[in-house]
Structure 1
Amino acid sequence: MRLQIAAALAATLVFPAQAQDMTAPDYPETRRGGVVETLFGEEIADPYRWLEDDVRNSADVADWVERQNRVTDAYLEKLPARDWFAERIGQLYDFERFSTPVEKGGRYFYTRNSGLQNQSPLYVMDSLDGEPRLLLDPNEWAEDGATALSGWKPSADGTKLLYSVQDGGTDWRILRVLDVETGKALEDEIRWAKFTGLSWIGSEGFLYSRFPEPEEGEDFQALNYKQAVYYHRVGTPQSEDQLVYSTPDHPDYNHGAGVTSDGRWAIITSSIGTDARYEVHVIDLAARAEKGWQARPLVTGFENAWSVVDGIGGKLWVVTNKDAPRYRVLSIDLDSKSPEWAEVVPHMEQPIDGASIVGNRLILTYLKDASSLARVFALSGEEMAPIDLAGIGSVGGFTGRPDDKETFYSFTSFNRPATIYRLDLETGERTVFAEPKLAFDPDDFLVEQRFYTSKDGTVVPMFIMRRKDVADSGKPVPTLLYGYGGFDVSLTPGFSASRMAWVQAGGAFALANIRGGGEYGKAWHDAGRLANKQNVFDDFIAAGEYLKAEGIASADGLAIQGGSNGGLLVGAVSNQRPDLFAAGNAAVGVMDMLRFDRWTAGRYWVDDYGYPSKEEDFRILRSYSPYHNITPRTPYPALLVTTADTDDRVVPGHSFKYTAALQAADLGPKPQLIRIETRAGHGSGKPTDKAIEEASDIAAFLAYWTGLTPVE
């Protein structure tokens, strides 16, 4: 049946050259099960539920994965631009890049990647002008390069380093400790840490968050409950770690720990999902010998966001959205007889995106139409001179202690990889700490921001990057549109080798700041979640229509891409407007909206999606769930679904089931394929060689079906 429909539609569709060789291949046979459930009076078929089983524990699923990859690999190998993108993306990755340095005990710690190293090694300098010394090289940890240094923090005196290891892309972490002077690893090893901070108490021990050890074979799928905070004393086994904070009566609560830079307070921040609604408890570490881990409530009720910036003595500074949907800064003196909140920096037009206390001043970063601003305030709230940034871009860093005289920060944009700056807080002088040497001139590319109108009249911002000669020509070109739209996540300008390769090839790249994100604060987030989720899809569809109407995207040359919640976005809009898009990449997406809350971290997402078990939410979820809304016998975009066998954030069963349903639906001559990576997880920690290979496959696939032929 699929071949008959392909033949009928081929005459009516416009294809790039040689399309007759690249139409949908013969898909591997996928067994259909008979699962049908009645949910709120509606019969819901789930014929591919068996694909939810963990590939490591199911021979049937492993066989399906192998057969799908064999077909996909054979198809991708034939793409005419694949080698070009592999070479170009590799070239664009090959530049020296640094993290922002962290100073502790007079030592400076930072990561540096020479260009094509799979993982970034960690270095230390004993002074700002000292010689770098290699401390950790994660490239030596695994033959396939898929074991990553996922986090690190030196002790306050700079003598020890606490770091976390991520193996094969999983969210689980192994914590270890290094002696900085000798570079030797200590015997400490912490297992089953997940979604954890790294917080030293002096140099003798640290706080971390962990879950109970899952049952054998369930570590990649079991729901995450009973997170607790523990204290580990260096040199002792994990079995002797002290329980610091837990809520056994509320196993669904999550708990993270931090310590103020002066070591006075441990801050326990609790959440119940993905929403910025927290409870905060504080532990007076100065009284620990007498009172133990006695937690004092600071904020209760899970009603608002509360983020402790830092503390000096008894005084804490906190960023909150209480009575301030775009956030403000408050302070409180916990040593006073009657502690009361005092406003330091009021609610402003732009939302606060980051905060730190360095050099006895508050450095706040704001988002202005999704681009960074950096403003400086006295600890009492008076505004000081701002920090000048180089135009449209994103800033990060500004870490340090209240008594520091310097701080470091990074600045990046779509056409500029991150440059690391050192800021002298006493003189205001800014110097370059590390600047990448590039194989291209950033000034050859136009980065602009436009605003378009969505279906309901809402004005939405969108960034667009093109080669200047392409923009000057005024001709529409194949265009890649990216979006996310959820969980209060703000998409801001940043460099991507694969996006730059697409633009160098002559295409346009667009990033739409659709509702559901945090670009304009709480209201923007609320307008794109729960009952308002359709606004996200409408905003993205409107972005595509705008790109075509304005002559940026060619008529048959619009591709879309998104990952995780953005993978859901690609799946949903492909169902709703298959005519608008030529091709798409749905990466590690949430595709079954009726069962997402049954695995690992999925239960947290009900804050944005709602509860499948509640009828009102079920009706909304059912209306846009990618897996359940594929329209059979309809010409669809060419879709490449990407996932990984070790993704324990959005389990790969989502993508497996969705792809099986696509392939069974007779969607015309364009291919519906899945690319399944091994030991790559949800994305973080992915080695450079795998990242380049995957990005090249995706770019070549999208380029073919949008008609993009690389032109120098």
Structure 2
Amino acid sequence: MNYPKTRKSNQVDDYFGVKIPDPYRHLEDDRSLETEEWVKEQNAQCEQYLNQVKGREELGKQLKDLMNYPSYTTPFKKGDYYYFYHNEGLQNQFVIYRQKSLDDPAELFLDPNTLSDNGTTSAHLSGFSDDAKFVTVFISEAGSDWQTIKVMNTETKEWLEDEIKWVKFSGAQWIDNGFYYSGYSKPDNSSSDKNQFHKVYYHELGKSQENDQLIYEDKENPLRFHTLSITKDKQFLILYISEGTSGNKIKVLNRSKNGKEFTTIFDKDGYEMSIVDTKDDKLITMTNYQAPNSKAIILDPEDPENYTDLIPEKEYPLEGIVITNYGIIASYLKDCSTYVEELDENGKFKREIKFPTIGSIGIGSYERRPEELFFSFSSYVHPTTIYSYKTKDGELKLFKSTPTTFTPENYTVKQIFVASKDGTKVPFFMIHKKGLKYDGNRPTIVYGYGGFNISLTPSYNPALVPFLEKDGIYVVTNLRGGGEYGEKWHEGGMKEKKQNVFDDFISITEYLIAENYTNPKKIAINGGSNGGLLVGSILTQRPDLIGAAIAEVGVLDMLRFHKFTIGWGWAVEYGSSDNKEDFEYLIKYSPLHNIKEDFNYPPTMVMTADHDDRVVPAHSFKFVATLQEKAQKKNPYLLRVDIDSGHGSSSRDKLIKNAKDRLSFVFKNLGMED
């Protein structure tokens, strides 16, 4: 295959005396004309290749039909209305509706599909004024992490003139005649520039952004996140400070005592706390300090070392709690699935809240001390179902189900545990058609993530159906680095222990081969973001185990990730090449730097997006350019760049197109074409 020409430079960096070439440094400028032309050529070649896949158009139609079902979110009460999001099936964005009672007809509140011509502008509600007369609407264009805040009058559904730009990683916390939010100063032209000096502001309705009051800024520490929240009783302002994706520091201000200054109540290096509710002048919090599986405590903000356990740590991770007038709702993770129970006000067990089978359970937004909660439930073979729960008597009722043509009874879901390289037992889920015979030749997709304390719990994905119908096996791995078994599990895949994540994945893949489910030529591996790093690492470490690789929006340059947008926030997870000790282990697995000369790597498609300002496209650009240059030319090494999209698909149309291209590549390279 003849690839587009890519200019090389003589760029060489010195890391503690080690010379590291970076000949494709210019591709980091994703807005240059040269890079734009290069992307067009790469996209054209990828599209030409995928268009040759037999049955590709039929696959696209099938996916569109599978995605065409009505879906809903859990409703939440604000003022006189219940609000919820709904998609009829193929709408690019979920539409926001409301109704005065759950039995009343719903009325349209806001349709984000009208905000752009191509359906790539999203909008969500984040914060209502105390009287529910106004709501802040967060708007994002083309999948970018940058957001614009606008304000709507909920009575008239008219926009106010207020508009706030350059908002990122923020909510809106209303108090008095305005709200708090977090954002940055206006960045330079490059979408990849490092974001620094995250600030907290207060915006008063009717005033321009230039007049917003600066509430908090740390001029000595530019690489920190700052977000402000307010307890539901409006008593405390809570300032969360973090240097990255793990660990935080908390300062509070007690408004009931006319406090003027924030005081620190939590500062334990590498550990986290979150404020859940208040009890008199004390705070109900969750923390993983001295409790890797987390616990709930009651803390005195004037004497923060003086606390009592409300819910002691258990053998499985505590995920979240809700305080009601009748007790506590607590959700846990048990072997990668959600388990929910109700406790009394002192944390003693009352009852389990049972759902149809193992799966993922989410708790919808709620007012303080709710009389009613809404749960969402889904699994690998069950689309999202919503239940209502009366907190007084514990009555769980079906509220809304999702009508689809999918038949759960036709599929089998198994959970299997495998010993990793160091003996650690690592679980994975396997999904396939019921009655499928294991003959050592089944096409298999192995998916993973393994990082940032994120847990992969069962979820419904109709885009898998075409693969499963062709007697495929879909595998979801629960690797160290995730949060499935608490903070110790997370720490087992961080920094210098990151290789454990790859070893876990390799051990599962070897198990699938050894147990005669499949063979290397029939295995495709897939992952996105940190999971893209996983794919890149497996591709460069154990290419003999796989027949195809798809890395999506991946972190692939482990020596320079911290130099773009908010990549510096991942140094707590990965380490940083600015430190000699970290550099020495990062260079060993960094996918970009471990591509061998003249090696026949399996077919690879790298997917990214032009508006991904979280994991910038440069990672994918440089990796593919290097692969196309160094690898033998026997297999395809393709780059697919989604236009007007970000770290995730910016519309339903793009979601379907991505799924079609992903499966087309799998079908082509695992011998599954019609």
TM-score range, shorter chain: over 0.9
Give the number of equivalent residue pairs. 674
- 3-state DSSP of counterpart to 1:597: helix
2:397 counterpart (431, 434, 442): 431
Deviation at 1:343, TM superposition (A): 0.6
Conserved 8 A contact 1:358-1:400 = no
Q: How does 1:444-455 map to 2 (within 5 A)?
A: 444-455=410-421
Instruction: Check 1:547–1:516 CA distance in 2 against 1; reply closer, same or farther (3 A cut).
Output: same
Letter in 1 for 2:241: S
- 3-state DSSP of counterpart to 2:516: coil
Paired position in structure 2 for 1:109:
83
Deviations 1:326-362 (A, max 9, x none): 100001244x789821110001010112222234432
Q: Could you tell me how far apart the structure 2 residues matched to 1:384 and 1:234 are?
A: 45
Q: Could you tell me how far apart the structure 1 residues matched to 2:550 and 2:368 are?
A: 45
Paired position in structure 2 for 1:267:
238
Deviation at 1:254, TM superposition (A): 1.2
Deviation at 1:146, TM superposition (A): 0.7
Paired position in structure 2 for 1:507:
472
Deviations 1:666-688 (A, max 9, x none): 3342200000011111116x100
Residues 1:328 and 2:295 aligned together: yes
Residues 1:205 and 2:178 aligned together: yes
Deviation at 1:542, TM superposition (A): 1.1
Paired position in structure 2 for 1:687:
651
Paired position in structure 2 for 1:349:
315
Q: How does 1:99-248 map to 2 (within 5 A)?
A: 99-201=73-175, 204-215=177-188, 217-218=189-190, 220-248=191-219
Residues 1:70 and 2:44 aligned together: yes
Residues 1:82 and 2:82 aligned together: no
1:460 counterpart (426, 446, 461): 426
Paired position in structure 1 for 2:540:
575
Deviation at 1:414, TM superposition (A): 1.0
Letter in 1 for 2:13: E
Deviation at 1:502, TM superposition (A): 1.9
Deviations 1:580-627 (A, max 9, x none): 100011001111111111110111111111110111111111111111
Q: Could you tell me how far apart the structure 2 residues matched to 1:386 and 1:109 are?
A: 28
Percent identical across equivalent pairs? Answer: 38
Residues 1:633 and 2:598 aligned together: yes
Q: Could you tell me how far apart the structure 1 residues matched to 2:130 and 2:330 are?
A: 23
Conserved 8 A contact 2:86-2:96 = yes
Conserved 8 A contact 1:359-1:402 = no
Letter in 2 for 1:661: T
Letter in 1 for 2:114: E
Residues 1:280 and 2:246 aligned together: no
Uncovered stretches (5+) of structure 1, i.e. residues with no partner: 1-24
Conserved 8 A contact 1:72-1:675 = yes
Paired position in structure 2 for 1:12:
none
- 3-state DSSP of counterpart to 2:135: strand
Instruction: Check 1:94–1:263 CA distance in 2 against 1; reply closer, same or farther (3 A cut).
Output: same
Q: How does 1:700-711 map to 2 (within 5 A)?
A: 700-709=664-673
Instruction: Check 1:291–1:328 CA distance in 2 against 1; reply closer, same or farther (3 A cut).
Output: closer
Conserved 8 A contact 1:358-1:407 = no
Q: How does 1:32-47 map to 2 (within 5 A)?
A: 32-47=8-23
Q: Could you tell me how far apart the structure 2 residues matched to 1:392 and 1:650 are?
A: 32
Residues 1:481 and 2:446 aligned together: yes
- 3-state DSSP of counterpart to 1:460: strand
Q: Could you tell me how far apart the structure 2 residues matched to 1:359 and 1:183 are?
A: 33
Conserved 8 A contact 1:162-1:177 = yes
Instruction: Check 1:580–1:555 CA distance in 2 against 1; reply closer, same or farther (3 A cut).
Output: closer
Conserved 8 A contact 1:271-1:302 = no
Q: Could you tell me how far apart the structure 1 residues matched to 2:128 and 2:303 are?
A: 35
Conserved 8 A contact 2:225-2:241 = yes
Q: Could you tell me how far apart the structure 1 residues matched to 2:152 and 2:353 are?
A: 36
1:498 counterpart (458, 463, 470): 463
Letter in 1 for 2:505: F
Q: Could you tell me how far apart the structure 1 residues matched to 2:219 and 2:175 are?
A: 25
Conserved 8 A contact 1:610-1:617 = yes
Q: Could you tell me how far apart the structure 1 residues matched to 2:531 and 2:33 are?
A: 30
- 3-state DSSP of counterpart to 1:407: strand
- 3-state DSSP of counterpart to 2:290: coil
The structure whose RCO (Cα within 8 Å, separation 6+) is larger is: 1
Letter in 1 for 2:147: R
Q: Could you tell me how far apart the structure 1 residues matched to 2:125 and 2:329 are?
A: 23
Q: Could you tell me how far apart the structure 2 residues matched to 1:562 and 1:83 are?
A: 24
Residues 1:516 and 2:481 aligned together: yes
Letter in 2 for 1:226: F
Q: Could you tell me how far apart the structure 2 residues matched to 1:389 and 1:667 are?
A: 52
Conserved 8 A contact 2:137-2:151 = yes
Uncovered stretches (5+) of structure 2, i.e. residues with no partner: none
Q: How does 1:638-657 map to 2 (within 5 A)?
A: 638-657=603-622
Paired position in structure 2 for 1:48:
24
Residues 1:295 and 2:259 aligned together: no
Paired position in structure 1 for 2:628:
663
Letter in 2 for 1:504: E
Letter in 2 for 1:118: N
Deviation at 1:191, TM superposition (A): 0.8
For normalisation by structure 2, the TM-score amounts to: 0.97
RMSD: 1.8
Deviations 1:275-295 (A, max 9, x none): 1x11111122345xx555x31
For normalisation by structure 1, the TM-score amounts to: 0.92
Deviation at 1:150, TM superposition (A): 4.3
Conserved 8 A contact 2:322-2:328 = yes
Conserved 8 A contact 2:438-2:518 = no
Q: Could you tell me how far apart the structure 2 residues matched to 1:198 and 1:379 are?
A: 30
Q: Could you tell me how far apart the structure 1 residues matched to 2:654 and 2:426 are?
A: 34
Q: Could you tell me how far apart the structure 1 residues matched to 2:305 and 2:634 are?
A: 68
- 3-state DSSP of counterpart to 1:536: helix
Q: Could you tell me how far apart the structure 1 residues matched to 2:140 and 2:303 are?
A: 45
Deviation at 1:252, TM superposition (A): 2.0
